[in-house]
Amino acid sequence: MPELFDASDLVSLRLHGISPFAGTDLDSILRSLGTRTVVAAGVSLNRGIIGISIEAVNHGYDVVVPRDAVIGYPKEYGEMVLQYTLDGLVTLSGVEALSKRWRG
């Protein structure tokens, strides 16, 4: 979403896989920046959000998934992924609550 992109955002390009950690320097870049929390947003709850969430947790990061910034197909399945797969693995939040925390 263009409204969420900032010029200072980290963009990690990858050519294969389901997680942005596989085959990239993402972990070392995040560690060098002192990152402790990864926010996973976008498409798709069916694959990508699950992949980044599991890998980030495996690398020792806390993960936040804003429920209103992700989608799965069909929508009902996406809701099941949030409820039955990600709940307990990550912190589920909303964009507004997350924005308030960032603003302090």
Percentage of the chain lying above the pLDDT 70 cut: 96
Alpha carbons within 13 angstroms on the beta-carbon side of residue 47 total: 4
pLDDT tens-digit profile of 20-68?
888 888 999 999 999 999 999 988 899 999 999 999 999 999 999 999 9
Rounded CA-CA distance 58/54 in Å is 6
Looking at the DSSP bridge assignments, the partners of residue 71 are 43
pLDDT, residue 15, reads: 67
CA distances from 82 to 10, 12, 39, 67, 85 (A): 25, 24, 14, 8, 6
pTM to 2 decimal places: 0.85
Q: What contacts 26, CB < 8 A, 6 or more positions away?
A: 12, 20
